Structure 1
Amino acid sequence: MNKRDELTEAATDYALAHGLIGLSLRPLAAELGTSDRMLIYHFGSKDELVAAVLEASNDRSKAVIHAMQPSASLRAAVLDLWATYTEGQVQRCQRMYVEAAALGLFGREPYATSIRASNAVWMAAMATHLERSGVAAADAPRLAGLIDATFNGVLLDRPLDDEAESRQIVEDLATALGRSQRGSE
């Protein structure tokens, strides 16, 4: 691992703990035991550093999804993905994704570009899990999009909802998709 890669991983850990909004190079550099100038030297700009952090975060989430065991059914896959999505590393990565997506909505770079790339990688990982869980390859990308959109909506509303309500929304989605899959067979 080269110095840039080491800094990317450490900066990703920092951003996952402190968030992206208001990220400042000096406190980040101090935490990493370097200077803001050295960060610019290794990344070229703050935007390039943020893009690297977002990519590393996404890669971490993707690795967790790829490591999941296949689920017994589409319904089980939705519930398994939600459990993974809302725990530990993936939950922190998803929260950072939401921050970046919000900034990207305003056209801020590197967020807009990074989020587009992140979405493609994330959706492919989810679709792969669905396929491994018995979903037809032709249906997996579309269903991954539906599941991801629901999860993100619940994540955005979650501070306003209680855990039971969030879980019920996901249960309802899982049940509906499970029924639709059985109906199409």
Structure 2
Amino acid sequence: MSSPRVDGRSLRFQHRRPELLAAAAEYVLDHGVTDLSLRPVAQALGVTHATLLRHFSSKEELIMAVGEKIRADLAVRLTSDGELHGARSMADLFKEMWNRLCEPREQRQFLVLFELVTHYGRKRDPETDLAQSLVHDWVRLLADRLITEGWPPEDATALATLLLAQVRGLQLDLLVSGDRTRADRAIEFAARLLDRPTA
């Protein structure tokens, strides 16, 4: 009795979900989510469709995992990147983050973000993984830094929400208009709010 055939490509990723997720994230960032299908993703990653489904049971699960990875990766950079972590103030960090996020490779995440909002936004469920990954986690990340600089927690949360909205709105503006000079001026203006925690 012959043993069942083993798919070597499946074995390659059997215990490597982090690497598979990283590769899937790159695919999503390059191709977007609007016409995303798991079979082309699996083919591009060099695994079978069944292997991909063992790690991500649906397209929605894959997209949510990618969204969380994008957020988590930036959080790691905030704490491990020497220039970002060493920023003297939240204002400096805010401006340096903007400069990083304007790099073409980083801008891909905003295109995916806007696709996600368009595709899933009508559900408007504040308890969904989408809301957690795209809104609450980012607000918490920024608010925590503001609190360490002396902002009261309620004000820190409100200001973090405003900062997040400004960055995302200006990214959309920049992607459409290409006017980096005007967007940079707006970021400089917004950063002034961060210099007055007692105002």
TM-score category, normalised to shorter length? 0.7 to 0.9
Give me the CA root mean square deviation: 2.7
- Structure 1 equivalent of residue 22 of structure 2: 9
Question: Which is further off, 121-130 or 158-167?
Answer: 121-130
2:151 pairs with one of 129, 136, 146: 136
How big is the shift at 1:50?
1.7
Distance in structure 2 (CA, Å) of the matches to 1:122 and 1:88: 21
- Structure 1 unaligned segments of length 5 or more: list them: none
- Structure 2 unaligned segments of length 5 or more: list them: 1-12
Distance in structure 2 (CA, Å) of the matches to 1:131 and 1:89: 30
1:99 pairs with one of 87, 111, 115: 115
Whether contact under 8 Å (1:62, 1:121) holds in the other structure is no
How big is the shift at 1:31?
0.8
Whether contact under 8 Å (1:60, 1:90) holds in the other structure is no
Distance in structure 2 (CA, Å) of the matches to 1:183 and 1:51: 38
Distance in structure 2 (CA, Å) of the matches to 1:46 and 1:57: 17
Distance in structure 2 (CA, Å) of the matches to 1:163 and 1:91: 13
Distance in structure 2 (CA, Å) of the matches to 1:178 and 1:47: 37
- Structure 2 equivalent of residue 169 of structure 1: 186
Percent identical: 29
Whether contact under 8 Å (2:138, 2:164) holds in the other structure is no
- Structure 1 equivalent of residue 102 of structure 2: 86
Amino acid aligned to 2:132? A
Whether contact under 8 Å (1:19, 1:96) holds in the other structure is yes
Amino acid aligned to 2:36? L
How big is the shift at 1:93?
2.8
1:75 and 2:91 aligned? yes
Whether contact under 8 Å (2:151, 2:198) holds in the other structure is no
Higher RCO, Cα 8 Å, sep 6+: 1
Distance in structure 1 (CA, Å) of the matches to 2:137 and 2:189: 26
Amino acid aligned to 2:19? E
1:55 pairs with one of 64, 68, 77: 68
How big is the shift at 1:102?
2.1
Larger radius of gyration: 2
Question: Which is further off, 138-147 or 35-44?
Answer: 35-44
How big is the shift at 1:163?
0.6
Distance in structure 1 (CA, Å) of the matches to 2:173 and 2:104: 19
2:36 pairs with one of 7, 23, 26: 23
Whether contact under 8 Å (1:66, 1:129) holds in the other structure is no
Q: What is the correspondence of 1:30-41 to structure 2 with a 5 Å cutoff?
A: 30-41=43-54
Q: What is the correspondence of 1:148-167 to structure 2 with a 5 Å cutoff?
A: 148-158=164-174, 159-167=176-184
Amino acid aligned to 1:31? A
Distance in structure 2 (CA, Å) of the matches to 1:54 and 1:161: 25
Give the structure-2-normalised TM-score. 0.76
Report the count of equivalent residues.
Answer: 179
Q: 1:71 to 1:5 in 2, by over 3 A?
A: closer
Q: What stretches of structure 1 move > 6 A for 4+ residues in a row? A: none
Whether contact under 8 Å (1:85, 1:91) holds in the other structure is yes
